[in-house]
């Protein structure tokens, strides 16, 4: 038996839409990361961008378990001495709620060129409206 390896020209990409309303952030982000990476396909190849496009709506209504709503912080460092910045989750939810989902999914993708290419297939929106209706996305249920 020979193992068949897929070529980049043979990959078909679909569009999916996922509703984050009432979903727990970590479980939701892991399912999204799996679809973005392409692990749900039987022809998964780890060194290629196999995944599909994912549109996330209602990102502002995602929920968190425990006391993360008040205690979770996001860390950022510019590279200069003393330039650390900590942002609380409740402040992020007020200003840029779509970044909560984006950061959670990015944490579950590989940190290399492939991961940076994959994260571009994620589109996150706060409300129900999105400009990707022409792609006729399939609805994800999980």
Domain ranges of the chain: 13-63+102-139
Q: What percent of the chain has pLDDT over 70?
A: 100
- Please give the Cα distance from 44 to 10 (Å, whole number): 12
Q: Which class is domain 13-63+102-139?
A: alpha beta
**pTM recorded for the entire structure:** 0.93
Give dist(CA 99, CA 72) in Å, integer: 14
111, pLDDT greater than 90: yes
User: What residues contact residue 51 under an 8 Å CB cut-off, 6+ apart?
Assistant: 13, 35, 36, 37, 38, 118, 121
pLDDT at position 5, please?
Answer: 80
Asked if the model's pLDDT at residue 8 lies above 90, the reply is: no
Is residue 132 within 8 A of residue 60, CB to CB? The reply is no
- Going by their DSSP bridges, the two strands 122-124 and 53-57 should be labelled as parallel
**Residue in this structure with the two tokens 């409300």, named with its chain if needed:** 127
């Amino acid at each position: 038996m020979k193992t068949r390896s897929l070529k980049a020209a043979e990959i078909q990409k679909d569009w999916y839409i996922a509703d984050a309303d009432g979903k727990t952030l970590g479980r939701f982000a892991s399912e999204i990361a799996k679809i973005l990476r392409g692990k749900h396909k039987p022809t998964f190849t780890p060194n290629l961008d196999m995944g599909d496009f994912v549109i996330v709506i209602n990102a502002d209504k995602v929920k968190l378990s425990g006391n993360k709503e008040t205690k979770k912080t996001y860390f950022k460092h510019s590279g200069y001495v003393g330039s650390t910045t900590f942002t609380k989750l409740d402040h992020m939810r007020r200003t840029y709620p779509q970044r909560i989902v984006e950061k959670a999914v990015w944490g579950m993708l590989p940190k290399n060129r492939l991961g940076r290419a994959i994260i571009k297939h994620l589109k996150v929106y706060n409300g129900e409206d999105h400009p990707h209706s022409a792609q006729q996305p399939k609805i994800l249920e999980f």
